Amino acid sequence: MSKAFTKEAEADLDEEIPELPAGVTNYITPQGLQRLRDEFRQLQQDERPKIVETVAWAAGNGDRSENGDYIYGKRRLREIDRRMRFLMKRIEIAEVVDPGKQKDKDRVFFGATVTYLNSENESKRVRIVGIDEARSELGEISWISPVAKALLKAEEGDVVDVRTPKGVERLEVVKIEY
């Protein structure tokens, strides 16, 4: 095995796992935690064993320096291992908050689904979730995002200001659901 390949592998192992912003708790909904666990399990039980099998087969074919299956397999294995380490660390530090147990359902808190009107009178609907479970394409935003921070603790009918790249935008809370 060439020195370049071993150094590349060592460099990948030393890469830092992205940390949470300072002083931020890793809040997560029960569903979000389950998604992280499911992804970890899928990588560990399905994807990783298949790649290990491919790499073992490719290694048995002789010269590894020009063996695409071997090189790609080793690279993919490092990516899987990196993602598994990330998921494991995030699962360990996760603090589960069940929005269904929220007592004050008249205010916006973690886990709420909020419908609001923006400055152009357009209706938007977002769900405030944890950092590791936010999916903007599904209207899920992190509780530390500017919009979520502006909406937190607001009640129906409240108007809040949020700083955006375009300037300050006013949002009117129309509906809160848990």
**Which sequence spans correspond to the domains of the chain?**
3-14+24-96, 99-177
Q: Which residues pair with 177 in a beta bridge?
A: 113
- Using CB atoms within 10 A of its CB, is residue 132 exposed (0-12), middle (13-18) or buried (19+)? buried
The model's pLDDT over 42-95, given as tens digits with 9 standing for 90+, comes to: 999 999 999 999 999 988 887 777 788 899 999 999 999 999 999 999 999 999
Domain made up of 3-14+24-96: CATH architecture: Orthogonal Bundle (1.10)
Q: Which tokens go with 27?
A: 């809040």
- Phi/psi at 114 (nearest 5 deg)? -120, 130
Q: What is the pTM of this model?
A: 0.80
pLDDT for residue 4 is more than 60: no
User: What does each C-alpha distance from 96 to 32, 34, 93, 99, 138 come to in angstroms?
Assistant: 9, 10, 10, 10, 21
Domain made up of 99-177: CATH architecture: Roll (3.10)
pLDDT attached to residue 66: 77
pLDDT attached to residue 62: 76
Matching fold, domains 3-14+24-96 and 99-177: no
